């Protein structure tokens, strides 16, 4: 039985054409993925351009180099982390404690129930609770009659 080399060459050409098309599709996909990934990680146009060009010219070694050099966090992750840090700082700042004994107090307490330190002052004019550090009432504008406090 004779072996047909013409048919084998056609099958080989067809295989190479499909393989080449597949490699071209992978290369274009890497470029698009890199572009989308760097845009999610950086607003710097120069970094975006360099990252995409590395993949365009160096293909797989370029994507490996990009993986080594890209920013660790996406902009969304960075924003969420900063938001969480801000929430933690705000939570720390909003804790009301007695300046004398450091016990937890409610924001509307006039005196510390633990050590009896004066925390706030009641306005003589409108009877609303004001800070000891204020020299006028922010609600009615009356001058404060509470003795001034010193900061330690």
Mean residue pLDDT of the chain comes to: 88
pLDDT digits 0-9 by tens, 17-27: 999 999 999 99
pLDDT band at 148 (very low <50, low <70, confident <90, very high): low
Point out which residues pair with 111 in neighbouring strands.
118
Report how far apart, in Å, the C-alpha atoms of 80 and of each of 37, 38, 43, 55, 83 are.
Answer: 18, 18, 17, 29, 5
pLDDT band at 78 (very low <50, low <70, confident <90, very high): very high
According to DSSP, residue 104 is labeled: B
Is 66's pLDDT higher than 80?
Answer: yes
pLDDT band at 3 (very low <50, low <70, confident <90, very high): low
pLDDT band at 70 (very low <50, low <70, confident <90, very high): very high
Higher-scoring residue by pLDDT: 38, 91? 38
Is 41's pLDDT higher than 50?
Answer: yes
Higher-scoring residue by pLDDT: 130, 80? 80
Domain ranges of the chain: 5-77, 97-152
CA gap 56, 51 in Å, rounded: 9
| pLDDT at residue 2 in the model | 58
pTM of the complete model: 0.57
pLDDT digits 0-9 by tens, 90-127: 777 767 888 889 888 888 888 999 999 988 888 888 88
């Amino acid at each position: 039985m004779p072996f047909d080399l013409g048919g084998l060459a056609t099958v080989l050409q067809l295989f190479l054409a499909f393989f080449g098309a597949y490699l071209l599709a992978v290369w274009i996909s890497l470029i698009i993925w890199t572009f989308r990934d760097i845009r999610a990680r950086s607003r710097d146009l120069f970094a975006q351009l360099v990252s995409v060009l590395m993949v365009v010219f160096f293909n797989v070694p370029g994507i490996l180099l990009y993986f080594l050099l890209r920013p660790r966090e996406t902009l969304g992750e960075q924003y969420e982390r900063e938001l969480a840090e801000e929430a933690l700082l705000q939570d720390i700042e909003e804790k009301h404690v007695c300046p004398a004994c450091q016990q937890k107090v409610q924001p509307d307490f006039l005196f510390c129930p633990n050590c009896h330190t004066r925390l706030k002052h009641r306005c003589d004019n409108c009877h609303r609770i004001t800070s000891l550090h204020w020299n006028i009432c922010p609600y009615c504008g009356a001058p404060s009659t509470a003795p001034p406090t010193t900061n330690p």
